[in-house]
Amino acid sequence: MVNPIPKWVWRRYALLWKKFENKNFTFEQAKKELKFVDGNTLSVMFNELKTAGWIAVNLDQQDSRKRIYNLLTPLKIVESIKHDIKKS
Amino acid sequence: MILKKVKTEHTDKKTGMVLKRIETSEWETHNHKIAVNNSLFDCEKKRIDNKKPILNSHFQINHIFFNKKKGIWNFDKVAESKAHASRLGRFYFPFQQRNVNQWESLNFQEAEADFQDLITRGLLFVPYHVPINADLETWKKRKEDALTLLNPSQTLVAVFCSRHQRNLFEEVFNYEFEKSKVIGVQCYGLNDDDTLLNLMKIKVRNQILQTGDNAPLLIGLNYEKVLRTFSFVSGNFAYSCFGFDVLSCRQMNMENLPPEVIRKMLSKEIEEIMKYDRVLGGFNHSAEQEFWDGTNITRAFLENVNVTEGLSPYQAIQWANHREQQKDFDVLNDSILETAYDENALLKYIESQKEKWSVFWKTKMPQLARSV
């Protein structure tokens, strides 16, 4: 199930999507891309995206302390929301 | 201006934030107000000289600085700011802005002497700084002595330090909370354990207020304007989360700064000045604005608005920062009221509408809940 996200998270999702699309990326790569966003904000943002179902989070196979992020495609999000609306 | 009463209008159970109504002989208003402090007072004087309107604020706070060279408190600006506040019917409160070392060395002898010094200056609200190792019994005795020196129109205002000994703070603070009309707290950084715990005690006491209860006016003083270690959230918002009703952030004492630092501050480029952004609920620089919005909002602001009349660019931004933050507090008050019929209204607003408020709330407040 996919839920709406706050506008400030959506803006950052859009920027990350532009850069990574549906490729895997790490916390550090996202931080570099979002330039002015600090670690605290990034953690809260990933948590929002994960809770709302907009991102998949997996452990790195080489180093299980690290997480690998993968964004859901905008199309999938729209379809999923459409599906949820139909169900409800 | 006579402070008649402060009443609880509504308490939001989810966030613990409280809406209070402040009633004086001259005006009525809600809490969550940012006071006109020293630097805003300087701006107001320039605006008056240029026959421009000043801030529509009911509260003025004068931070009294310590002159390091002479080793004395500098009361020079008290009379002038008091007269200005009194002309406008404002609630006026001066206090000695202490640093951590000054708080640590403060004993009752010095606190009493400072209190006596201020009594004679015709103030309605006279600050009494409570030493950080004061327990309830000692405070009760000292306060009783101090009260005998006041005339009937004067009110003693206990001013605490957020780094008060944590095993003693709750009892003394709660005593004052039950008895006083006004309480001041000089707040220090949230990375300090004593501060965090003591502020949480304040929040906990404040949030059990019920509609219709009398409440003291809690004045938050001396905290950082921008919390750099908390994603540049506004200090006004962050400290209001602990229950403060009137806020006045730390003021810079130019007298104690070396000339080269002053020169550097006065020659700040627009790109180096932090501007409050209502979308974020915090501060940013031009470079960040350009990254997200493609424009230098600070520069555009200075080119497009008229507030600069009489003010330097830096002061114009300070002025705007005050107004924008106050607007956000007004919206926050509306959201507290909304929780009367939608219990999630305020929490939803904080967590979804403003990035920096949301990050502060989600990263700092859960820690606090665990520490109680």
How far are the Cα atoms of B67, B148, B249, B268, B363 from residue B114, in angstroms, in the given order? 14, 16, 22, 36, 39
Q: What is the pLDDT of residues B18-75, one digit of tens each?
A: 999 999 999 999 999 999 999 999 999 999 999 889 999 999 999 999 998 899 999 9
Closest residue in B to A46 (Cα–Cα):
B359
Any domain includes A50: yes
What whole-number percentage of chain B has pLDDT above 90? Answer: 80
Average pLDDT in chain B: 93
What residues in B contact A41, CB-CB < 8 Å? 231, 355-356, 359
Q: What is the pLDDT of residues A7-51, one digit of tens each?
A: 999 999 999 999 999 899 999 999 999 988 999 999 999 999 999
Mean local confidence (pLDDT), B336-361: 94
Any domain includes B104: yes
The answer on pLDDT for B225 being more than 50 is yes
Edge-to-edge strands of the sheet including B59-67? B72-74, B59-67, B91-96
Q: How far apart are CA B162 and CA B108, in angstroms?
A: 17
Q: What pLDDT shows up at residue A88? A: 61
Q: What pLDDT shows up at residue B97? A: 97
Mean local confidence (pLDDT), B308-317: 83
What residues in A contact B292, CB-CB < 8 Å? 11, 36
What residues in B contact A35, CB-CB < 8 Å? 291
Any domain includes B120: yes
Q: How many domains does chain B have?
A: 1
CATH number at residue B158: 3.20.20.105
Q: How many domains does chain A have?
A: 1
B245: distance to nearest CA of chain A, Å?
27
The answer on pLDDT for B256 being more than 90 is no
Any domain includes A54: yes
Any domain includes A1: no
CB within 8 Å: B363 and A6: no
Note whether A44 contacts B: Cβ–Cβ < 8 A: yes
What residues in B contact A8, CB-CB < 8 Å? 279-280, 354-355, 358
The answer on pLDDT for B370 being more than 50 is no
Higher pLDDT pick, B8 / B269: B8
Any domain includes B204: yes
Q: How far apart are the first and last CA of chain A?
A: 12
Note whether A51 contacts B: Cβ–Cβ < 8 A: no
Owning domain of residue B58? 7-252
B203: distance to nearest CA of chain A, Å?
23
Q: What pLDDT shows up at residue B371? A: 46
Higher pLDDT pick, A78 / B250: B250
Any domain includes B70: yes
Q: What pLDDT shows up at residue B372? A: 41
- Contacting residues for B175 by C-beta, under 8 A, at least 6 apart: B136, B139, B140
Q: Which of A36, A47, A48 to mutate to test the interface with B (most CBs of B within 10 A)?
A: A36
Per-residue pLDDT band at B367 (split at 50, 70, 90): low
Q: How far apart are CA B218 and CA B242, in angstroms?
A: 10
Q: Which of B288, B363, B365 to mutate to test the interface with A (most CBs of A within 10 A)?
A: B363
- Contacting residues for B150 by C-beta, under 8 A, at least 6 apart: B119, B126, B156
Note whether A87 contacts B: Cβ–Cβ < 8 A: no
How far are the Cα atoms of B9, B10, B169, B170, B190 from residue B194, in angstroms, in the given order? 30, 29, 10, 12, 9
**Encoding tokens for residue B42?**
């300087």
The answer on pLDDT for B177 being more than 70 is yes
Q: How far apart are CA B185 and CA B163, in angstroms?
A: 10
Q: Which of A5, A8, A46, A51 to mutate to test the interface with B (most CBs of B within 10 A)?
A: A8
Q: What pLDDT shows up at residue B146? A: 97
Per-residue pLDDT band at B237 (split at 50, 70, 90): very high
Mean local confidence (pLDDT), B196-218: 96
Closest residue in B to A11 (Cα–Cα):
B292
Per-residue pLDDT band at A87 (split at 50, 70, 90): low
Any domain includes B2: no
Any domain includes B21: yes
CB within 8 Å: B362 and A38: no
CB within 8 Å: B287 and A36: yes
CATH number at residue A40: 1.10.10.10
Average pLDDT in chain A: 90
Q: CB-CB: which of A11, A35, A40 is closest to B359?
A: A40
CB within 8 Å: A6 and B359: no
Any domain includes A61: yes
Q: What pLDDT shows up at residue B268? A: 80
Cβ-in-10-Å burial (0-12, 13-18, 19+) of A32 comes to: exposed
What residues in B contact A6, CB-CB < 8 Å? 351-353, 355, 358
Mean local confidence (pLDDT), B289-307: 83
Q: What is the pLDDT of residues B80-130, one digit of tens each?
A: 999 999 999 999 999 999 999 999 999 999 999 999 999 999 999 999 999
Any domain includes B372: no
What residues in B contact A47, CB-CB < 8 Å? 362
Owning domain of residue A46? 7-87
Q: CB-CB: which of A6, A11, A41 is closest to B231?
A: A41
pTM metric for this prediction: 0.93
Q: What pLDDT shows up at residue B263? A: 82
Any domain includes B333: no
Residue B185 phi, psi dihedral angles, 5° rounding: -135, 120
The answer on pLDDT for A63 being more than 80 is yes
CB within 8 Å: A41 and B292: no
Residue with tokens 């801030």: B55
